[in-house]
Amino acid sequence: MYYGRQAGWIEVICGVMFSGKSEELIRRVRRAIIARQRVQVFKSHLDARYAGLYSVSSHDGAELEAIPIDTAEEILRHLHTDVAMVAIDEVQFLDDAVIDVVTELAGRGIRVAVAGTDTDFRGDPFGAMGHLMAIAEQVTKLQAICVRCGDLACRNQRLIDGRPARYDSPTIMVGGAGELRSSLPPLPRGAARRRGPDSTLVATRSWKHLIMLNVALTGNVAAGKSIVARLFENWGATLIDSDVIVRQLQQPGTDVLGLMVSAFGPDILQDDGTLDRAALRHRVMKDEAARQSLNSIVHPAVLARRQDLEAEARARGDAILVSDIPLLFEAADPAVFDVIVLVDAPAATRKARLVENRGLEAVEADRLLAAQDPTEAKREHSDYVIDNDGTPAQLELAARAVWQALAARAG
């Protein structure tokens, strides 16, 4: 780009975390110093790893003195008249003005070497790196080792509290030594995780090694949620059915059933020792305190089991996990899921289904409907809503459209 008797140029060192970018930048600076060239080194003030704010440091402990800056234009203010080389580390943290600054420096006949992470944990170009790579005379792309498969790594993944960050979590957060982890997969796109500040980045060869779309499927009673759950499972989802978990936890001899008998008495059992669900329903539907007591026994056990099954799905590398959770908004934490799918139907339709299909009395059906929050607010807080007030074919068609959207997000 800039040639003449005193040629300047731009060279970019890029790659994922732990690929040796700072180490390579330090190597080039030291060679210039050996050649008796005047070198100035700059770094973003956001990076204070290892040796502190006033040094460029690599993960292996190598370091150089550096000037910390908040904006790219500060480079020009600190520049010496006789400088032959300018080195900038962690350039992805600087503002877009760095593009004009390095272009101007090269135009003055100065060799400019910058190092930075080329893509963020989403896989998008990080800061000005994409533009810098396009205008550079020389680009060196380094790779790390994937923490899962041991192959060459070309992506970063942020972990928050030991779990992968959501797509719209903050872009900038500098990691540190000893933070690579090989068994913790990342979450895909979705709303920001609402827990914990502990964050780091890991390197991975491909998103598909690690990403699992974590979907919550919910809906008020008799909305048709279970039908949609089975459709999703048939189309390739891994399904965690909370109702199945509840039945497993309430088998004779289980701790959960023992606590229920202690709380509500032996009348909730049938002669063979199994749970009499109709008797239990009659008991708790008439007594709010009893219903809350039942929830305090059952819900923690269901959550623990669901988390175990989720961990197993992640370890297998499953692409889409669908958790069928009737009381997602009432008793669970919607924020831990990437996507929320709501199956809904008018209250009158759901009441008719309870009476006609499940044999409930109208009064009992009303109590069951009233035990769950209204769907209006749930619709507002769901990513997808499947209305089920038509034919089974119409329900399947609507579910298929949502499934295709989920599959596209899972990539």
Q: How do residues 372-398 score in pLDDT, each as one tens digit? A: 889 999 999 999 999 999 999 999 999
Residue 176: the pLDDT is: 38
What's the CA gap between 264 and 100, in Å, rounded?
74
Closest by CA position to 299, among listed 249, 339, 258, 335: 249
Residue 197: the pLDDT is: 35
Residue 5: the pLDDT is: 41
> How far, CA to CA in Å, does 114 sit from each of 44, 85, 94, 96, 353?
12, 11, 11, 14, 66
Neighbours of 240 (CB within 10 A): 25
What's the CA gap between 409 and 411, in Å, rounded?
5
Report residue 17 as tokens: 């975390």
Annotated active-site residue 90? The verdict is yes
Share of the chain above pLDDT 90, in %: 58
The label of the residue with tokens 């219903």 reads 291
Least confident window among 10-19, 54-63, 228-237, 315-324: 54-63
Q: Which residues touch 366 (CB under 8 Å, ≥6 apart)?
A: 351
> What residue ranges define each of the domains in the chain, with the CATH number in brackets?
9-142 (3.40.50.300), 144-209 (3.30.60), 213-260+299-410 (3.40.50.300)
Give pLDDT tens digits for 327-341.
999 888 898 899 999
Residue 41: the pLDDT is: 94
Tell me what the mean pLDDT of segment 3-27 comes to.
Answer: 83
Q: Which DSSP helix (H) or strand (E) runs through 387?
A: strand 384-387
Least confident window among 181-190, 204-213, 242-251, 354-363: 181-190
DSSP assignments along 196-233, one per residue: ---EEEEEES-GGGT--EEEEEE--TTSSHHHHHHHHH
| pTM of the predicted protein model | 0.52
Neighbours of 369 (CB within 10 A): 17
Closest by CA position to 172, among listed 99, 125, 121: 121
Tell me what the mean pLDDT of segment 213-236 comes to.
Answer: 95
Out of 23, 90, 310, 364, the active site residue is 90
Q: Which of 12-21, 182-191, 267-276 is the most confident on average? A: 267-276
Closest by CA position to 110, among listed 42, 44, 39: 39
What's the CA gap between 323 and 283, in Å, rounded?
28
pLDDT range class, residue 299, cuts 50, 70, 90:
very high
Contact (Cβ atoms closer than 8 angstroms) between residue 232 and residue 403: yes
Q: Is the per-residue pLDDT at 133 higher than 90?
A: yes
Residue 160: the pLDDT is: 63
Give pLDDT tens digits for 47-72.
554 444 455 555 555 668 889 998 99
3-state SS track over 173-202:
CCCCCCCCCCCCCCCCCCCCCCCCCCEEEE
Chain-centre distance of CA 407, in angstroms? Answer: 16
Contact (Cβ atoms closer than 8 angstroms) between residue 8 and residue 106: yes
Q: Is the per-residue pLDDT at 323 higher than 80?
A: yes
Least confident window among 43-47, 188-192, 242-246: 188-192
| Average pLDDT of the chain, as a whole number | 83
